[in-house]
Amino acid sequence: MSEQLWFDFTIEGIFVKGLGARMTPELRGDLRALGIDLNKLGPAYSVDVSRKALEAAWKRVFPTLSKDDAFRELGRLSVSGYLDTMVGKAVLGLVRLMGVKRSLLRLHQSISGGSNYVKATSTLVGPTTIEIVVQDTSEMPTFWEGILLGGTEIAHAKNLRLTRFVQPAPACGYRVEWDD
């Protein structure tokens, strides 16, 4: 398989748009040392560099949170940041029109589109319950959990409940439930 890569708009969504004013000179320097110049993004970054960049953000921006909580928050911020990109703005209008169920059933497409290796599936298991399986969470299941939480919040899900269920590694399953 070719190198596993996160695309530039994913990095932009997290670090430029998502973190926004929370970006510190120290974190910007950490990212630059990893090869990520936020002023001139490359087309893609390896999953290893991307994971290290998220870890740097955890330590610089959310030092009082556990790694899981920080990665969950970074996942949420990545959604709001992504929706502030050119690609994301087009998606936002569709999400609001489609509603919670249809948005979640298509969320796997957005998850799959941010890299060249992450694939996801969505399965309707009840009127207000969907299971999403991310085939490779890059050892960051709470980051993807944050993405799912952020995505369902934008769709205005009421009383959202998200639980993880075991899948063969490196996959992770997420059960998303909400009230009508």
Q: Domains of the chain: which residue ranges?
A: 5-82, 99-179
Instruction: For 117-172, write each residue's pLDDT tens digit.
Output: 999 999 999 999 999 999 999 999 999 999 999 988 888 889 999 999 989 989 99
For residues 8-18, average pLDDT: 94
Whole-prediction pTM value? 0.92
CA angle in degrees (0–180, nearest 5) for 99-102-107: 105
Q: Which residue has the tokens 């497409």?
A: 109
Eight-class DSSP state of 136: -
Pull the structure tokens for residue 72. 């969950």
Instruction: For 67-86, write each residue's pLDDT tens digit.
Output: 999 999 999 999 999 888 77
Q: Give the chain's radius of gyration (CA, Å).
A: 16
Buried b (16+ CB within 10 A) or exposed e, 113-134: ebbeebebebeeeeebebbbbb
Fold of 99-179: H-NOX domain (3.90.1520)
Contact 176, 130 (CB under 8 A): yes
